[in-house]
Amino acid sequence: MQENICSEDHPRHLIPDLCKQFYKQGWVTGTGGGISIKHGEKIYIAPSGVQKERIQPEDLFVQTIDNEDLEGPPPAKKLKKSQCTPLFMNAYLMASMCTPLFMNAYLMASMCTPLFMNAYLMASMCTPLFMNAYLMASMYTPLFMNAYLMASMYTPLFMNAYLMASMCTPLFMNAYLMASMCTPLFMNAYLMASMYTPLFMNAYHMASMYTPLFMNAYHMASMYTPLFMNAYLMASMYTPLS
């Protein structure tokens, strides 16, 4: 794959831009790390200990899937690779992906998930999702994330506080919600309704017919898969991440 590092879509520019955007929107706080993009055979990883809105293209670490370091920041900056790196590598090894995003601590993946995103719009295999704010899923659980695009038939999305899923696991999200196998979600202001599962949300609250969801601090539980997340932890019936 021939690289065009001048392109706005190249990971060297995309990662800093995403971090600035998420920070300005108030979706993330704190220092850097927590984001990685796989581009061809190279894996770009944000540095640890740098304010998210201040990460520069030259601050990124580049390595292979075999943990071979290819490029790094200028030595004078004395930067360290994100401590999330083992999680990124585990996720890349678990599935074939183009660009999984894992943002600062809360995340997940689906088994067979096409992702379609541009501006809060997503569609899943069984569940078209329409959301102004962050997302959802169905029994086959595609993950859709708020803003930037990733597509790959097997691509899990990893995002700062907005999601996760497994084959039989409805998505639960820190800030706005989820769906079941027969549940199209329609959201504009934390409101959703599905065929079998009316969802009523205003303050990160959701309930489904079989799965009451109670979320405010990255906690979720599903009928088959209790998900407990606070910092890089999640588990699904078929896809444990470790």
Digitized pLDDT (tens) for each residue of the chain, 242 residues in all: 445 566 777 889 888 888 888 888 877 777 666 788 888 889 999 998 888 888 899 999 999 988 899 999 999 999 999 888 888 888 777 655 444 444 433 344 443 333 334 333 344 333 333 333 334 333 323 333 333 333 333 334 333 333 333 333 333 333 333 433 333 333 332 333 333 233 333 223 333 332 333 333 233 333 323 333 333 333 333 344 43
Among residues 170, 79, 82, the alpha carbon closest in space to that of 129 is found at 170
151 and 214 assigned to the same domain? yes
d(CA 30, CA 49): 9
Sign of the CA dihedral with 138 first, then 141, 144, and 150 last: negative
Provide the residue count of the chain.
Answer: 242
Place of tokens 């067979």: 112
79 and 110 assigned to the same domain? no
92 found inside a domain = no
Question: Of the candidates 83, 115, 146, which is a domain's last residue?
Answer: 83
pLDDT of residue 72: 93
Q: Find the helix or strand (DSSP H, E) in which 13 lies.
A: helix 11-25
What the block records as the tokens of 126 is 């069984």
91 found inside a domain = no
29 and 119 assigned to the same domain? no
127 and 63 assigned to the same domain? no
115 and 58 assigned to the same domain? no
6 found inside a domain = no
Assessment of whether the complete model's pTM goes beyond 0.75:
no
1 found inside a domain = no
78 and 108 assigned to the same domain? no
Question: How many C-beta atoms surround the C-beta of residue 240 within 10 A?
Answer: 12
128 and 241 assigned to the same domain? yes
23 and 56 assigned to the same domain? yes
Which residues form the domain of 47?
11-83
Rg (CA), the chain: 17
5 found inside a domain = no
For residue 21, give the CATH number of its domain. 3.40.225.10
Number of domains in the chain: 2
pLDDT of residue 3: 57
d(CA 58, CA 110): 32
47 and 137 assigned to the same domain? no
3-state SS of the chain: helix, strand, coil percent to 5? 15, 20, 65
Q: How far is CA 216 from CA 43, 66, 101, 106, 162, in A?
A: 32, 37, 22, 13, 11
Helix (H, G, I), strand (E, B), or coil: what is residue 90? helix
119 found inside a domain = yes
